[in-house]
Amino acid sequence: MKHSFILILSLIVVISLPAVADQITLKFTGADGNNSGGVYTYPYNFAFSSNGITTATDVPLMCDTFQNEISVGESWTATFSPLLSATGLFGLGSSTYYEEAGLIYLDIQNGTIDPNLGNWAVWGLFDSAIVSNPYAGTNNLSTLLSTVSSEVNSCNASCYAGLVLYTPNPGGIGLEQNGQSYPQEFIGIDPVPEPASLLLLGTGLIAIGGKLRRKLSS
């Protein structure tokens, strides 16, 4: 009976694999303490869940929507897409800005850009009023934005591998909280296993089940 159970479990795993896993619920669990100009900056930490099941915790993301507000404990549904294929809250006309934001995010990760300055730069990409902020004027924000704009021209798709945009869904959870039409949008790295990896897991379990069955039948 053991080998039959493993084989059935393996088939369930494969059959239940999603074709595209692009919907998720985000819950804001708090910021790590970086702040400047009176606001928190990267990282914002999140718990991810799908169908009521928590799939990841303490996931650090970077906000790109300065005017929207969120509070600790707030949650909402979102679509996550590879950065280069995402429309985002700012639309397809802002695709180059998303590329620049992705490069800034990566430079924050490798330590070449300060998280405070980097997050303000990302906000400045999508909100022209940011560059006139007193913080921006004293921290060379315009210089950084100009540099990153030039870097985009020398990058191909491989520069953005693994970067994901988390865009809040219309009509989803929490969209009217804090007087905002939407919560914030975020950039990060996809922590969810690729469907191909899950498929390998399923086929591996099937192979194990098959070996056990042959062994017990011999």
Region 53-77 average pLDDT = 92
Both 52 and 150 in one domain: the answer is yes
Tokens representing residue 115 in the block: 């998280």
Both 139 and 205 in one domain: the answer is no
Both 197 and 187 in one domain: the answer is no
Query: Quick check: 4 pLDDT over 70?
Result: no
DSSP conformation letters of 114-179: -HHHHHHHHHHHH-GGGGGSHHHHTTTHHHHHHHHHHHHTT--GGGGTTEEEEEEPTT-TTTTGGG
What is the spatial distance between Cα 40 and Cα 127, in angstroms, rounded to a whole number?
17
Mean pLDDT is lowest, of 18-22, 115-119, 173-177, 187-191, for: 18-22
Contact 173, 75 (CB under 8 A): yes
Both 145 and 125 in one domain: the answer is yes
Domain hosting residue 198, numbered range: 1-21+193-218
27/214: higher pLDDT? 27
pLDDT in tens, 113-150: 999 999 999 999 999 889 888 877 778 888 999 999 99
Domain total of the chain = 2
Note the pTM of the prediction, 2 decimals: 0.75
Both 12 and 49 in one domain: the answer is no
pLDDT in tens, 189-211: 886 654 443 334 444 444 444 44
Separation of CA 99 from chain center? 14
AA identity, residue 62: M
Both 30 and 17 in one domain: the answer is no
Both 42 and 3 in one domain: the answer is no
Both 158 and 213 in one domain: the answer is no
Both 108 and 197 in one domain: the answer is no
